[in-house]
Amino acid sequence: MKKLFNRVFDGADEMYALAEKSIAEALDELGPDAPLAMPNTAYYLANYLSYTKRQVTTIGGLKEAFEEAKSWNIHEDNTSAVFKTGFGVFMAAEAIEACKYAKSPDPYEGNYHGHLSDAEVRELGVPLVTNDIPGFVVIYGKAPSDEEAVDIIKGYQTRGIFVFLLGEIIEQARRRELNMGFPVRVVAVGPDIWQVAHIISFVNRAAMIFGAVQPGDRWDLDEYTFWRIHAFVNVYEPVSDLVVSCGAGAIAMGFPVITDDENDMWPVPKTLLIQKDTTNFIETSLEARDIKLKITNVDIPVAFASAFEGEIVRKPDTRVDYDGPRFDSFELVRTLEAHEIEDHKIEVFGPDIDELPAGEKLGIGLLAEVAGKNMQKDFEPVFERNFHYFVNCAEGVMHTGQRDIIRIRISNAAFDAGFRLKHLGEILYAKIMSEYDTVVDKCQVKIYTKPDDLKRLRAEANAVYDERDARLKTLTDESVDVFYNCILCQSFSPSHVCIVTPERLGLCGAVSWLDAKATNQLNPQGPCQVVTRERVIDPEIGIWEDVNENVLASSHGNLESVSLYSIMVDPMTSCGCFECICGIEPLSNGVVIVNREHIGITPLGMTFPEMASMTGGGVQTPGFMGHGKHFIASKKFMKAEGGSARIVWMPKALKELVASKLNATAKELYDIDGFTDMIGDETIAEDPEVLMEFLAEKGHPALEMEPMF
């Protein structure tokens, strides 16, 4: 019987040999000066950067870095050597993959996901901290059957676990036509074990992005991955030495390995587990990683989990399309007295899905009526905004928009499984009663599809929306007595604190002042706490003594002062999951804003990942600021530096998204008509000098403003 340690060392030797061969071939084909980089990342080869601090940018640089990585392959009979060898294996695997990307920008031609971008890492920030994604699983090998392969993947999906697939299980899932992809949180990374490098890169970048872990800081990196990345590995037999060597690295990061292979394996409690019954992999894995799940029972005939939030139902797959932009539609929450509500009553007024021809388009109205002694009307729009997330959790159901421009598509597969309109009611009832149980005692749901009903009720809903909007316009930072903090992201970014005000929402874009108020009242001990604003230091910059005291305490002593209206003086920190990042553009005396979805270059000569790498992780970076999309049109946006008049460039899609509100703000504050027409975008300029010509032609106000530094 071969020792487990020896299996690690033998597997490591195999991986190093493969890497050495890949590097030699790349050198022969491309030469030492050939550029080398993973796509859409500011972290070079993230595993080399994390472990050795090396910024590898060429094939020759990779050869040098690999020579250092060889010293990590330590054949010594002790745990420390085995773990270091495991990390070395990840660097060798990354070298193999990097050589592929040096030869082709898409070496897998769309058949496999391969490298995960920085934007994808950041996209998971919010669901990770809200526990919508309670953990990650890496599944490698071939399941006993195609059916079991799908069962384990969907089993993890329905529990919210993000799934990475390696090896033959990918083809098993494809044969069963399983829907896979990043949006549904099942990623077919690659066919071979060395593609594990992309998963480890993902983890290491999460540590640098969210945790401000510095390259080369092994202690902080190990602490972060062990305590904050809730991951584990499932491996089907037979397990080769090569796979065992990768398992050593996973265990060193705090990720338990569960396998059904007993050959030359020694089980270690909570670390290396032998589970011969592969149908019990899920429960064994969750127990090993101490992942405890709160699952809301939703009585519908399709799977229900946060993993399906990003699922897209395309036109050919659509059974019925409730098209709010074209037909009268709405969604509304209304507070009634308890005696007016019959709890869990769900009514459908109008034709159901099975009474319509396939592919029909029409309108829909969703009305949830609630009652509770602690219910407040301010909570109604908070509930409504969450309809989007609630409905999207149903497999085969897609929801977009809000208020009276919603769109809901039901797929053929969901229809065939038995999904009907009453099940939309079941979703809303179950989630409202579970998510808001501290304020809602009773709930009933009404669903409308008759055109006459929809026309009448949409008009009533619009009157409610207008009344709310009028009230929200009066909600300014000066009109309220308190702000709120939000420390939800501290599970991943320990020192970050958001201060949420009526005119500055959370940088993730998901937490407004009303949301924070509701969160605090729903859970007084939760992530949003009251912050008084009584002792003002500087109202222009946005500094209060009591706000600073709260930030100091909430950041565990890491932050002493935060300004809410300045990008230059103690700007608010960022965790890493911000929707946008703003940075100074020196030539124009303005600022560039780029959103996470934009993959191109900015006039700063940097992409979103490169700009974002300069902030995040709970640090203050004067001149750079993470923020939500809707903060752009706020009157408090960079107020200390002159406000939104400083904005000189945004991606076209973002500019169009915020145009109406930003134009209104610019008209009110600066008496400028059509301000967004003065702002550059990627179709106008990506070079700062070309941008300057455009700004001068348009007479952009930033060119006449005082220098920021």
Q: Which of 430, 448, 471 is the last residue of a domain?
A: 471
Contact 483, 531 (CB under 8 A): yes
Interval 445-468 mean pLDDT: 94
- Is residue 93 assigned to a domain? yes
What number of CA atoms fall less than 13 Å from residue 696's CA on the CB side?
Answer: 8
Q: How confident is the model at residue 567 (pLDDT cuts 50, 70, 90)?
A: very high
Residue 126: pLDDT over 80: no
Beta strands in 311-424 (DSSP E): 318-323, 330-335, 346-349, 360-362, 365-371, 397-400, 407-411
Query: For residue 596, what pLDDT band results from cuts at 50, 70 and 90?
Result: confident
pLDDT for position 286: 95
Same-domain status, 497 and 463: no
Distance CA(145)–CA(165), nearest Å, equals: 15
Q: Dihedral sign for Cα 594, 599, 601, 604, please.
A: positive
Distance from C-alpha of 618 to C-alpha of 208, rounded to nearest angstrom: 11
Q: Which of 22-31, 424-433, 570-579, 637-646 has the lowest mean pLDDT?
A: 570-579
Q: Please tell me whether residues 533 and 640 are part of one structural domain.
A: yes
Distance CA 88, CA 16 (A): 9
Does residue 634 belong to any structural domain of this protein? Answer: yes
C-alpha of 417 from chain center: 30
Q: How many CB atoms lie within 10 A of CB 481?
A: 8
Helix (H, G, I), strand (E, B) or coil at 680: strand
- Please report the pLDDT score of residue 319 as a whole number: 97
For residues 197 and 93, the answer to whether their CB atoms sit within 8 Å is yes
Residues 655, 628 within the same domain: yes
Q: What are phi and psi of 583, to 5 degrees?
A: -145, 150
Average pLDDT over residues 58-81: 93
- Reported as type and span, the H/E element at residue 163 is strand 162-166
Number of structural domains in the chain:
3
| Same domain? 96 vs 38 | yes
**What pLDDT is attached to residue 1?**
52
Predicted pLDDT of residue 498: 92
d(CA 144, CA 140) in angstroms, rounded, equals 12
Domain final position from 414, 441, 471: 471
Q: Among the ranges 128-142, 367-381, 658-672, which has the highest mean pLDDT value?
A: 658-672
Q: How much is the average pLDDT of 269-278? A: 93
Q: What pLDDT, on the 0 to 100 scale, is given for residue 114?
A: 97
Answer yes or no: is pLDDT of 699 > 80: yes
First-last CA distance in the chain: 69
* Residue 296, in any domain of the structure: no
Q: Reply yes or no on whether the pLDDT at 616 is more than 80.
A: no
| CA separation for the pair 685, 706 (Å, rounded) | 24
Rounded Cα–Cα distance for residues 671 and 257 (Å): 62
Examine residue 366 and state whether it is found in any structural domain, yes or no: yes
Q: What is the mean pLDDT of residues 355-378?
A: 94
* Position 294 in a domain: no
pLDDT average, residue stretch 248-269: 91
Q: Which of 444-448, 552-556, 615-619 has the highest mean pLDDT?
A: 444-448
Do strands 231-235 and 536-538 pair parallel, antiparallel, or not at all (unpaired)?
Answer: unpaired
Note whether 117 and 241 are same-domain residues: yes
Residue 124's domain is classified under what CATH number? 3.40.50.2030
pLDDT at 379: 87
Identify the CATH number of the domain in which residue 378 sits.
3.30.1650.10
> Residue range 62-75: average pLDDT?
94
Antiparallel, parallel or unpaired: β 136-140 and 536-538: unpaired
Same domain, yes or no, for 531 and 616?
yes
Range in 27-36, 40-49, 469-478, 697-706 with the lowest mean pLDDT? 469-478
pLDDT attached to residue 518:
83
Question: pLDDT tens digits, residue range 206-247?
Answer: 999 888 899 999 899 999 999 989 999 999 999 999 999 999
| Sheet architecture: strand order including 162-166 | 186-190, 162-166, 136-140, 231-235, 257-259, 272-274
- One domain for residues 583 and 660: yes
Backbone angles phi, psi at 685, to 5 degrees: -165, 140
Residues in contact with 87: Cβ distance below 8 Å, sequence separation at least 6, in sequence order: 51, 72, 249, 252
CB atoms within 10 A of CB 316: 7
The mean pLDDT value for 433-462 works out to: 95
The pLDDT value recorded for residue 65 is 96
Q: Is residue 613 part of a domain?
A: yes
Contact 129, 123 (CB under 8 A): no
Sign of CA dihedral 137, 142, 146, 147: negative
Give pLDDT, residue 403.
87
pLDDT of 602 higher than 80: yes
87 belongs to a structural domain:
yes
Are 463 and 491 in the same domain? no
- Cβ distance 499 to 531 under 8 Å? yes
pLDDT at res. 310: 82
Q: What is the mean pLDDT of residues 462-471?
A: 87
> What is the span of the domain harbouring residue 180?
4-103+113-288
Tell me the mean pLDDT in the region 134-158: 96
Residue 257: pLDDT over 60? yes
Kindly state whether residues 341 and 271 are assigned to the same domain. Answer: no
Last residue of a domain, one of 471, 504, 532: 471
How far apart are the C-alpha atoms of 232 and 511, rounded to whole Å? 31
Beta strand segments in 207-274, E:
231-235, 257-259, 272-274
Report in angstroms the alpha-carbon separations of 599 from 42, 120, 611, 616. 12, 11, 12, 18
Query: Are 269 and 394 contained in the same domain?
Result: no
Considering the domain boundaries, does residue 274 fall inside one?
Answer: yes
Residue 667 to residues 647, 661, 664, 670: CA-CA distances in angstroms? 14, 10, 5, 6
Whether residues 170 and 312 share a domain: the answer is: no
Is the pLDDT at 66 greater than 90? The verdict is yes
Q: Which of 15-19, 40-44, 55-59, 166-170 has the lowest mean pLDDT?
A: 40-44
Same domain, yes or no, for 261 and 123? yes
Residues written for the chain: 709
Q: For residue 536, give the CATH number of its domain.
A: 3.40.1470.10
